[in-house]
Amino acid sequence: MNIHEYQAKGLLAKYGVAVPKGFVAYTPKEAESAAKKLAGD
Kindly list the domain boundaries of the chain, sorted by start residue.
5-39
Name the residue among 31, 19, 27 with its Cα closest to residue 9: 19
Mean pLDDT over all residues of the chain? Answer: 92
8 Å CB contact between 20 and 5: no
Determine the Cα–Cα distance for residues 41 and 39; give it in Å rounded to an integer: 6
* Rg, Å, the chain Cα set: 13
pLDDT at 40 over 90: no
pLDDT digits 0-9 by tens, 3-21: 999 899 999 999 999 999 8
Q: pTM above the 0.75 mark? A: no
